[in-house]
Amino acid sequence: MKPLFNAPLVVNGRRTLMATIVAASLGTPCAIAQAQTAGSAAYPSKAVRIIVGFPAGTGPDIVARLLAQKLSEGWGNLGVIVDNKPGAGGLIAASEAARAAPDGYTLMLGETGQLSIAPSSYNKLPYDPAKDFVPVSQVVTSDFVLLVNPQKVPARNVKDFVDWTKQQKGLFLATFGAGTPGHFGAYMFGDAVKLKPEPVHYKNTSDALGGLFSGDVQGVFASVGLAAPNVKAGKLVALGSTGAARTNILPDVPTIKEQGYANLEFSSWFGIVAPAKTPPDIIAKLNADIVKAVQSPEGQTKMEEAGFRVTGTSQQDFARTIAADTVTWGKAVAATGFKAD
């Protein structure tokens, strides 16, 4: 596999960005505002940390590292640290990011589960997505594909899979964790094909794929980027994708909507959010720099090669997406009666 970028400028691992905060009394609100503006004008003047709530090698991690590379280049190789804080479906990372200083030097690559699904799947969250974060920019979207093991499942399209499943003792679909888009996507699929799926939750992607290879489960909704290498190698078969249109990385795989299930369409997204009360001018600069980074020819190519659709939205559009998806996924969660706590 060729390197994602030519120069490895991103610092990996579990390093914690240490910052020294100098407190100074500026006397008046006007002086405070002037000081904030002056500090924001120089932003960034030191390394920026992007917290990611999932392990290295997963979709969010890949997006964060690609973005960090391009931002670092645009900031004169100042340094952008990707800090993986996996656990609890991204809640550990979100909790830490919500408590971070609102100075633009700690950001989070948020995803659908943390920001739009969690409010409905948890009775009590350790953070409030609407109050504790300010959206900066959606970076990419990602469709899912329904994967099966060709050694265990004879179907090669969705209809045949549904017909075959009806002859089995149940429809067992792996997920990469309870409360994730793939989890509720499995329920959406069941509703569309008039079957009741039994989600089987695994701790991570490798375990879930292991269950698919062993035949313990019949299928899994995996992100296109994760699915593509296995599909291209002939190890797994993609029966259909969940987006509105076919993906560039797997153009021969028809959408599930194309195959007669018009109501089945879902995807996930990743985007940068900052702690609430981060100065508006810092947010505006971050937005401009992120959009420039991901929509640059190299940035876009690298993201697409990894299986993502580049967006790079305005702050307002990202905020609207989070709010709308909170309603959409909330209905899916309510239909299942699922609660993670």
Mean of the per-residue pLDDT values of the chain: 87
- Whether omega for the bond prior to residue 44 falls within 30 degrees of 0, making it cis, is yes
User: Are 270 and 213 spatial neighbours (Cβ–Cβ below 8 Å)?
Assistant: no
Per residue in 239-262, pLDDT (tens digit) is 999 999 999 999 999 999 999 999
Helix (H, G, I), strand (E, B) or coil at 171: strand
Q: Shortest CA distance to 275 belongs to which of 70, 123, 95, 91?
A: 95
Report pLDDT digits (tens) over 4-58: 333 333 333 333 332 332 233 333 444 434 444 444 568 999 999 999 999 898 8
pTM score: 0.83
- State how far the Cα of 304 lies from the Cα of 60, in Å rounded to an integer: 14
The Cα–Cα gap between 319 and 272 comes to 11
Give the per-residue pLDDT at 182: 86
- Nearest one of 296, 319, 289 to 76, comparing CA atoms: 289
State phi, psi for 173 to the nearest 5 degrees: -115, 130
Using a pLDDT cut of 70, give the percent of the chain over it. Answer: 88
DSSP string spanning 8-49?
---B-SS-----PPPP----SHHHHHHHHHHHHHT--SS-EE
Return the closest-CA partner of residue 237 out of 263, 257, 213: 213
Residues 63, 307 contacting (CB under 8 angstroms):
no
pLDDT tens column, 274-314: 999 999 999 999 999 999 999 999 999 999 999 999 999 99
Tens-digit pLDDT profile for residues 215-240: 999 999 999 988 999 999 999 999 99
Which of the four pLDDT bands, split at 50, 70 and 90, describes residue 3?
very low
Predicted pLDDT at 35: 40
Q: What is the DSSP letter of 90?
A: G
- Higher-confidence position of 163 and 88: 163
